[in-house]
Structure 1
């Protein structure tokens, strides 16, 4: 571990996201780690200061609310840009580092005009590849602007990097830190041995699943882009012929605009083999009691939930998209299928259900594939090394 800096010697780093909740959830404990070496200030939208206060308590960092709209809102965006500019001029950080699209756009522009030496953006996922028409053109333009005003660019994974290159978003260097993912995985916390067989059976019983059932688990937002329609349709066919197979769904559509159609909600609410438990603050008990993780998303940056499932020893059925296909090796620790393909999803689920030995083989490899590449201590150290490299390069250039 690197030697921490004394408070007097710490340089300032401002971390931004559109929502302070994103910093709280996506960067759990990372800001505390970095705060040993840099004076970290966390910035994001948080109207009631709920996450602002929790960031201060858990991470031990300074935190401030500045509204950053997730959607395009010209007047509000200009106000946010001005507020960021004033803050940067006052704080004089050596680095600003953003992790979400709108925060990236405003942070990089404000940082440029405030003369912040290092302007760093991490692309945690790209929206434009799945868009069409004018919206796609606008989103590409915004990502090009981010790159124009940034000094350092970090795609969260190689899939994101390849998309940035394919669409010619920038000619600047693109570097994936560690093996991808913004925070890595806490292998102590996400460990199936923390949960006893009795605890697993009690949870199953509580939600209406028997000890002998094969449990498929979905965790994520209940929206179209997560492949929930295909999952509901495929599982309807599975449950019709396999009464010992159950689907547990963890998540919510609260605050979403990409709402599921009524037909899909009818399937979820009326199929007795589907157990919808809503949002859960701690998903580990559900991972521990399940047999197969299913995540048929259309697009991702580098999905934490697939890492968490693997760390808990669950093989995963995922779509061939950025991030998921960098975590899962086909027929090694899971199965990779085309996105938006209900039949392929059905076939993959049937393969696992009908071949217990194959499922056991996948399960045995699941945790090892995560521990060898995504331990969060390794990811944090790589991020710190990158910060220090940026700092050294600035010193060489007398900036």
Structure 2
């Protein structure tokens, strides 16, 4: 069977869909459409040249620019016409819209929405997302959501052929994100290398963008370090996104890289080793589907402080594996985040309890559940095609 996977950029494919694509290659001809950019810039998980996998580069914009999306839609349409796949399976709204715009007859189209814009926006952006996403809903043969809030919204409109992943989003590699891999010596050496021995370690992973709460991370930490100088440290894993604002002023961005209590790790394929020395994972994102970085932190036994928003609240539970901060205003959110961080720093027994609870659900975070679920869906469709 021929399957065309479409995702916005190569970095996202490599990070989220690599295992699924390689598994599908064993019995299918797999094509991947994505832009050549590495928004999530890590080394390749596999040597893709060894697999029955063909990449097609299309500049899919990560925005709601209709003109650019239609241009990419034409390019994807041409690829579909040549390949003639049995199934076109697309991820992210900005990938689904151009893939479905000129959909071909007698081809099945599936789409997974990793966080609906209509469910996390206001004003004109909410209207724009609603138009685009509703268009996608009605043109897809199957619609997949990855969190409860999005699924409730779409299934109330279109019950038939609307599904929610049973897996924890796309999950993570729990064999890699395993705290037991790291000895006390390993952790001590890394702390020495980073000069963070004896400090309360807070970690943020992701793009430095405002909608992921990066500005809240910075301001919360600056406030915390003013009260506890030389006692806390912030590890930043990730980097700037050229099309999205950090939420910081120019001077704050300068101060960010001058602050001796902030360690800028950058993008890395070894996130797990930094989580191994982390006390609290801080990810106050305002717009998520189901964040992989939180899944990775929980799999490592690291309690999470995040905003009480869809996706985050699907996996983080108050007083169990972390804390959900109800977003009221920027200043209030910062105060509440600092309050939770101070509480956990002062109450290590509570921190240990939360960490232990994270590990109780560890198996549910496995990416293998996502891959197995997707393989079953596609194999069931394959049987249908053969009939």
Q: TM-score, normalised by structure 2?
A: 0.89
Cα distance, 1:350 vs. partner? 1.4
The equivalences for 1:162-181 within 5 A come to 162-164=152-154, 168=157, 170=158, 172-181=160-169
In the alignment, does 2:203 pair up with 1:213?
A: no
Cα distance, 1:305 vs. partner? 0.6
In structure 1, the partner of 2:30 is: 40
Cα distance, 1:245 vs. partner? 2.0
Partners of 1:47 and 1:360 in 2: CA distance: 40
Q: Give ranges in structure 1 of 5+ residues lacking alignment.
A: 1-10
In structure 2, the partner of 1:123 is: 113
Asked whether the 8 Å contact 2:215–2:246 carries over to 1, the reply is no
Partners of 2:46 and 2:34 in 1: CA distance: 13
Of 345, 348, 356, the match for 1:353: 345
Higher RCO, 1 vs 2 (CA within 8 Å, ≥6 residues apart): 2
In structure 1, the partner of 2:309 is: 321
Of 149, 163, 167, the match for 1:159: 149
Cα distance, 1:133 vs. partner? 2.6
The equivalences for 1:234-273 within 5 A come to 234-243=220-229, 244-262=231-249, 263-273=251-261
Of 386, 391, 399, the match for 2:377: 386
In structure 2, the partner of 1:63 is: 55
The equivalences for 1:4-15 within 5 A come to 11-15=1-5
Partners of 2:375 and 2:120 in 1: CA distance: 33
Of 193, 213, 223, the match for 2:180: 193
Asked whether the 8 Å contact 1:125–1:302 carries over to 2, the reply is yes
Structure 1 residues 173, 270: closer, same or farther in 2, change over 3 A? Answer: same
Structure 1 residues 84, 254: closer, same or farther in 2, change over 3 A? Answer: closer
Which stretch of structure 1 is more off in the superposition, 95-104 or 82-91?
82-91
Cα distance, 1:308 vs. partner? 0.8
Partners of 2:278 and 2:381 in 1: CA distance: 43
Cα distance, 1:209 vs. partner? 0.8
1:119-154: CA deviations, max 9, x gaps? 000001222334333332121100011111100000
Cα distance, 1:47 vs. partner? 7.1
> RMSD value over aligned CA atoms?
2.6
Cα distance, 1:63 vs. partner? 1.6
State the aligned residue count: 378
1:357-394: CA deviations, max 9, x gaps? 000001112123231x2222222111111123334455
In structure 2, the partner of 1:370 is: 362
Partners of 2:241 and 2:71 in 1: CA distance: 27
In structure 2, the partner of 1:285 is: 273
